[in-house]
Amino acid sequence: DAGVIQSPRHEVTEMGQEVTLRCKPISGHNSLFWYRQTMMRGLELLIYFNNNVPIDDSGMPEDRFSAKMPNASFSTLKIQPSEPRDSAVYFCASSPPRGTTRFLETQYFGPGTRLLVL
């Protein structure tokens, strides 16, 4: 199994540019999560999809951020326009269908995209 795949692994861009981060979850997983890691705030949940439908986007910082999941095998997180304070590591995670027991320990993280906005 290839695990959760994220691209690009590193992104350097200038303030005002559009940034698109991509994620391919593990096949068969039906929940997908986008997180952001910063020194100040640690690991924050941005948005959570279940069966391709956004369930909770309360963690999305502002309207400059948007996320989509057009199908079960692909999701994007877009920042437009980007700002220096968006610099962080962005993680995508996926988890399998929830069974009769807690599933949270089976949330698998991708390697992350390190974003630097100059």
Partner 1 sequence: DQQVKQNSPSLSVQEGRISILNCDYTNSMFDYFLWYKKYPAEGPTFLISISSIKDKNEDGRFTVFLNKSAKHLSLHIVPSQPGDSAVYFCAATDNAGNMLTFGGGTRLMVKP
CB closer to partner 1 out of 112 and 117: 112
List contacts with partner 1 (CB under 8 A). Answer: 4, 33, 35, 41-45, 48, 50, 55-56, 91, 93, 98, 102-112
CB-nearer residue toward partner 1: 57 or 72: 57
Q: How far is the CB of 102 from partner 1 (least distance, A)?
A: 6
Least distance from C-beta 28 to partner 1, angstroms? Answer: 18
Q: Which 8-state DSSP code applies to residue 25? A: P
Query: What distance lies between CA 36 and its chain's CA centroid?
Result: 7
Q: CB within 8 A of 81, min separation 6: which ones?
A: 15, 16, 17, 18, 64
Six-digit token string for 88: 């962080």
Distance, CA of 15 to CA of 39 (rounded, Å): 20
Nearer to partner 1, 43 or 118 (CB): 43
